[in-house]
Structure 1
Amino acid sequence: MVKYALIESLRGEHAVMKMCRWAHVSRSGYYKWRCRRPSDTELRRFEAERLLINLFTRFKSRYGSPRMTVELNECGLPISENTVAKLMAKQGLMARNGKGYKYFPDVLARNHVSDNLLRRNFQASKPNEKWVSDITYIKVEKGFVYLAVIMDLFSRKIIGWSLDTTMTNQLIIDAFKMAVASRDVEPGLILHSDRGVQYRSWEYQQLLLDEKIRPSMSRKGNCWDNAAMESFFARFKVEALYAEDVTTKKEAYSCVFDYIELFYNSHRRHSTLGYKSPNHFESAYEKMSA
């Protein structure tokens, strides 16, 4: 509903009760709309748009709607050329035809990155509803190592992480695969990140598409849109990294493993969780839901 979407976009600027009164809608109706699961139609449209963008990028902007329709159909997505043309127009996708074409080096960088689905709402009503991800660096004797992390906002639990000497697509892919392997992923899950090139890569985006995960990205240059991850990295560095003399990748890995797996998830008490650890908080939820 348009009125509910408008209220959602203005959360934090005005009181929800006042906006509902101005829009002549009920608060209960608004909150019910916020918690709704995406419809099958919304999920199909989302999947079509994501697959279209992925294929358009793979073929380096060479295909217009007729050829893109064939590609989509051969990928098992029945869709008409007219629908493809509308989706391409909506996303600003234009094939390189003739001298009038204006080249943009990264189509994916211009599409979907502005869709900040999280909107700084770091609360979740259940596990696997909202995940956030980010990358940080760790200084070692011979340069840096990079740490990619995925957090479930429901419990603030770190469900996937990866450490390497290079900040490649594989770094976040390994963290993502760990997260998916350890959780029950359902269509509609939001995974929020920044606009980094790794998160915009075709390989990573395809993994999200395969799992029917909805990508969300921070606004350009706005680190507070991913404040939960920023907070985690700050605590990790203060509580673990700065207290140790880390000089090698092996020592960095040991530091990260000890902090995340042996302390943070199992024992660290969070004020947002009623001073329970992530594992304790999830266990309590499972008992109540049984």
Structure 2
Amino acid sequence: MIVGFIDEYRQVYGVESICRALSAHGVQIAPRTYRKARHRLPSARDIADAHLENALRDLRDKPEAMYGCRKMTRYLRRHGHDVAFCTVDRLMRELGMNGAVRGRKQRTTIPAKDGVRAADKLNRDFTATAPNLLWVADFTYVSTWTGWAYVAFVFDAYSRAIVGWTAASSKTTALVSKALNMAVWRRDHYGHPVEPGLIFHTDAGRAIHISEIH
């Protein structure tokens, strides 16, 4: 790619000038390296990649362009391409080809019916001067062979350490509350009990004092 870039602009700026500019921006290449690369024969991998890229580009406006990496690999093999899944995955990412995703998109934050979000008491300032003054919580999800898995976690803004966590197969209130209960128990168990005044910040700007939790 760098050789192609220099080829495109060398008649205007000169090879040496372009190499100096690229090196100044962190792309280290010498004029001698560029000239050697221009006369080097393409490798077997480069040739195979070029053939495969052409096959992928030919599918741009066809239904097969919606295939994911695994299905695309099987499709290419049926059409005579001896190719590995990792190669198809790499080239599809380089070409910006993404397979269609079936099913409903997962949502982790669902607004209230009135559409009003809780005020952010922290004003996006997630710093703390000592442990157990500010905890931040959130949860995420990951697709598994048996369905969606959800993981909630609580971390201390001072140490950036995860102090509580939990995992479940559904996104219920207990998913987050159990992570908070675990954090409180662990801090007490290891001799750092939570004192009144700790702020517990969750998604969508919700922040409460630990004394509000029953």
Which is richer in helix?
1
Q: TM-score, normalised by structure 2?
A: 0.40
Structure ranking higher on relative contact order (CA contacts 8 Å, 6+ apart): 1
Larger radius of gyration: 2
